[in-house]
Structure 1
Amino acid sequence: MPLTPETTKVLLIDDHQLTRSLLRGLLKNEGYHQFREAADAPSGLKIATHFSPDLVCLDVQMPGKTGLDMLAELREAVPHAVILMVTAQNDRDTVVACINAGAHGYIVKPFNALTIIKVIEGALAKRGLLAAPAAGAPARK
């Protein structure tokens, strides 16, 4: 069954509270309301197992286990989830490593609200998870 922002379960895994708060605020403005958050990889994996998110925004660089190190475990725990990597690193090697490890996309800090929403909606749509916009809904630019 296709998801809408209201029905999409979102897990934010980032060691920076400000980053989680910014992402949550941007997504709330777009109608997303079901959130869980974690500040590290072990907590994120535990929450993912119980919450079964549809969308995971995963920081690449965290203390202890990195997001890239955690990606395979997360994909095994919640294989249906769309996983987007979040980082300030915009180098080609990091992007390629994340995509090759199974990430569905990439969000670069500092955040641009429209870009983030387009990346999230594009990744969900590519997996066939996003419902079509309601008739008469304004198109994104």
Structure 2
Amino acid sequence: MLKAVIIDSSAVARGLLQTVLQDGSYDVVGQAHTCATAAVLLLKHNPQIICIARDVLEADVKGAEEMRRTYPKSLMFMVSSEFDAATVQKAHAMGINGFIVKPFNADTVLKTIRSTVIQMVNRQRKALAEAQAAQNPPAQPSAGDEA
């Protein structure tokens, strides 16, 4: 079961997202209202999923960037009711992996997370295969092998 931490200044939004994630078989190991309070939860639980509200991220960009550096393998999702092109571009540059739209539609949230997890696994498999291919290049046919 994948572990998740929710960071949102709204207790109501945290509770709703927690319900959606738990119903989707994710283990919500903690909730926080700021990046600073989330740091303790991240250290304690080392979650695979971090859901961070846009307002929290914008209020503490350095804290969010530190999370990304400290937990590079965790998938980070920005949660917001509004996304514009500039925000999405900036978020991608910060290492945000996906976006969850408020108000929450349970099916959409779970599909977003699942597809992001699958994309990440596929990227890792491809990178592993490329690394193995680089270490073990195919044998070059010798002059006597031609048919």
Please give the TM-score of this superposition, normalised by the length of structure 1.
0.78
1:93 aligns with 2:89: no
Pairing partner for 1:77 from 55, 70, 93:
70
Q: Is the 8 A contact 1:71 1:102 kept in 2?
A: no
Residues 81-90 or 54-63, more deviating:
54-63
1:43 aligns with 2:15: no
Shift in alpha-carbon separation, 1:64–1:107, aligned structure 2, 3 A: closer
Instruction: Answer 1 or 2: which has greater helix percent.
Output: 2
Name segments (4+ residues, structure 1) moved above 4 Å: none
| Aligned-residue offset at 1:95 | 1.1
| Aligned-residue offset at 1:65 | 3.1
**Identity score, percent:** 25
Task: Provide the rounded CA distance (Å) in 2 between the counterparts of 1:85 and 1:108.
Answer: 8
> Where in structure 1 are there 5+ consecutive unaligned residues?
1-6, 130-141
- Which amino acid in the other structure matches residue 44 of structure 1? A
Q: How is 1:1-141 mapped onto 2 (pairs within 5 angstroms)?
A: 7-62=1-56, 65-66=59-60, 68-128=61-121
Task: Provide the rounded CA distance (Å) in 2 between the counterparts of 1:36 and 1:120.
Answer: 18
| Aligned-residue offset at 1:62 | 2.7
How many matched pairs? Answer: 122
Question: Which deviations, in whole Å up to 9, do the C-alpha atoms of 1:38-80 show, x marking residues without a partner?
Answer: 11110112211221010000111039833x4433111112111
Task: Provide the rounded CA distance (Å) in 2 between the counterparts of 1:114 and 1:14.
Answer: 20
Question: Which deviations, in whole Å up to 9, do the C-alpha atoms of 1:98-119 show, x marking residues without a partner?
Answer: 0111100111211111111111
Who is 1:138 aligned against? Answer: none
Shift in alpha-carbon separation, 1:41–1:88, aligned structure 2, 3 A: same
- Which amino acid in the other structure matches residue 31 of structure 2? E
Question: Which deviations, in whole Å up to 9, do the C-alpha atoms of 1:6-42 show, x marking residues without a partner?
Answer: x211000011011111111111111223421111110
Aligned-partner SS, 1:89 = coil
Structure number with greater Rg is 2
Task: Provide the rounded CA distance (Å) in 2 between the counterparts of 1:24 and 1:79.
Answer: 23
Q: Is the 8 A contact 1:15 1:63 kept in 2?
A: no
CA RMSD of aligned residues (A): 1.9
| Aligned-residue offset at 1:125 | 1.3
Please give the TM-score of this superposition, normalised by the length of structure 2.
0.76
